[in-house]
Amino acid sequence: MASVSGVRGVVGKSLTPELLAKYSSAFGNLCNFFSQNAHPKVVLGRDSRASGEMCRVAVLSGLLATGCEVIDLGICPTPTLQIAVEGLAADGGIIITASHNPIQWNGLKFIGSNGMFLSEREAEKLFDLVKNNKIIYQPWSGLGKVKTDHSWIQKHIQKIFKLKYIDVKKIKRKKLKVVLDCCNGAGGTISPGLLRALGCQVIELYCNPDGNFAHNPEPLPENLVSLCRAVKKNKADIGFANDPDVDRLAMVSDLGIPLGEEATLALATKFILSKKPKSKVVTNISTSRMIDDIVQKHDSKVYRTKVGEAHVVRELKAVKGIIGGEGNGGVILPELHYGRDALVGMALILEYLAESKKTITDLASDLPKYFMIKKKGKLTKYFEGNLAKLKRKYMKSRKRFGIPNGFSGEKINLIDGVRIDFEDSWIHVRKSNTEPIFRIIAEAKSEKKAKGLVAESLKILGAN
């Protein structure tokens, strides 16, 4: 799977050393094209997956063969690597990760010289080099070099503490008790340290970055059972879950109840807008309407993009947004850097707890109430046709979903699959960027209605 989110595959099947080296060499060529340096400077890092070392060697080989000077950060989060690319004024970066995908997967995320994901156009250029065998390799005298640098974990933490929104002393005084589930991903290298530096008593759950994922690493409620149990048992103030490359954050309340990924960006946005109303917020079209309600209350404006960090950050930069991200738990605070970052997410939530003097249960129950249902299905060759059918049907049958007569406010958005907005509900169907599946999301004021929308759509898509 190659997309604006990078390259992903199953190790030993679609993801081979040859393929990894090819993509890395193409990336080396791309960096060389834009670089002022004789040898383009490329930052390399990986999450903790067991296949990470095989991939690292292949990627390194591809980069050295195209003359890159490689700075190897070792195991680190995606946001740490993005910050290092900016901090080192590098020409680009590659992080070896399959993000939240299960252990048999791995992949590459490509970062440009601005520390941001490659744009769609840049990614296309990269894929074209691979597809059409246009890669240029260096002779023996032009090969690159590699050095290691383990300083960026600490630099990342310090950068967060310097943000004007974060009052380290105030958080420290609260002495919060936190259970942390890193699923033995890269979060183990940084998250316990960040929380302890904020005076938290940290109960570590799977914080050993050895890549033996203790559960399905996607931070969805059904995968956080042991975190919920540990929060309750330890009477903690909050539970945090990081995905393997630490760009997504999910939370469990002090009562041991998962708050759902959508709550992360909603709470972080509410906190930031309470400090700076009349601002701009950017999120993708799959994200909860909670954001629209919060934004409206704070006299602000929301901009919606296609799904994928690359799209959100570009719009954030273009409109000079104050905060943005994705409903899957990805918080982007441009003041820190243009990338989803679970670490800044945790710091903002702890600051919110410290300032509001409320529990996380209270903060979450103050959020606008919606029910969201997310499902996925296998792509078939009939998918596009069925999607067109679904679009036609929903535009005609709004009455069936309890939309009042005379309401003509349903809107249709086709930038990324099909999203249809009704008065008090919406549905979005799109192809995944990272897996051969389609995703379907519905949100409504009642669970029954959200479920009804999903069931109906799955029937039309021929996938139930």
47 binds Mg ion per the rule CB under 5 A: no
In the bound complex, what is the minimum distance in angstroms from residue 332's beta carbon to Mg ion? Answer: 13
> Are the CB atoms for 269 and 289 separated by under 8 Å?
no
CA-CA distances (angstroms) from residue 84 to 61, 160, 186, 246? 21, 14, 16, 15
For Mg ion, the closer CB: 247 or 262: 247
Per CB under 5 A, the segment of 58-66, 119-127, 237-245, 364-372 that binds Mg ion is 237-245
**Residue given tokens 């005084």 in the structure block:** 173
Among 86, 91, 243, 261, binds Mg ion (CB under 5 A): 243
For Mg ion, the closer CB: 243 or 261: 243
Per CB under 5 A, the segment of 61-69, 208-216, 238-246, 408-416 that binds Mg ion is 238-246
In the bound complex, what is the minimum distance in angstroms from residue 243's beta carbon to Mg ion? Answer: 4
245 binds Mg ion per the rule CB under 5 A: yes
Per CB under 5 A, the segment of 92-100, 285-293, 300-308, 364-372 that binds Mg ion is 92-100
For Mg ion, the closer CB: 243 or 421: 243
Among 72, 122, 247, 262, binds Mg ion (CB under 5 A): 247
Binding-site size, Mg ion (CB under 5 A): 4
Phi first, then psi, for residue 327 (nearest 5°) are -65, -15
In the bound complex, what is the minimum distance in angstroms from residue 20's beta carbon to Mg ion? Answer: 19
Per CB under 5 A, the segment of 29-37, 134-142, 244-252, 321-329 that binds Mg ion is 244-252
List the interface residues with Mg ion, window 398-427 (CB under 5 A).
none
For Mg ion, the closer CB: 284 or 300: 284
CA atoms 288, 291, 296, 301: torsion sign: negative
Catalytic residue IDs: 99
341 binds Mg ion per the rule CB under 5 A: no
Of 247, 206, 211, the residue nearest 229 (C-alpha): 206
List the interface residues with Mg ion, window 94-123 (CB under 5 A).
99
Buried b (16+ CB within 10 A) or exposed e, 322-355: bbbbbbbbbbbbbebbbbbbbbbbbbbbbbbbbb
> Are the CB atoms for 42 and 115 separated by under 8 Å?
no
Residue 202 CA to residue 196 CA, distance in Å, equals 7
Pairing of strands 41-46, 69-75: parallel
Non-local (6+) Cβ contacts of 113 within 8 A are 31, 34, 85, 89, 90, 91, 92
Q: What is the distance of C-alpha 437 from the center of its chain?
A: 18
Question: Which residue number is nearest to Mg ion in terms of Cβ?
Answer: 99
For Mg ion, the closer CB: 245 or 421: 245
List the interface residues with Mg ion, window 435-454 (CB under 5 A).
none
In the bound complex, what is the minimum distance in angstroms from residue 248's beta carbon to Mg ion? Answer: 5
> Are the CB atoms for 309 and 120 separated by under 8 Å?
no
In the bound complex, what is the minimum distance in angstroms from residue 245's beta carbon to Mg ion? Answer: 4
Q: Which residues sit at the interface with Mg ion, rule CB under 5 A?
A: 99, 243, 245, 247
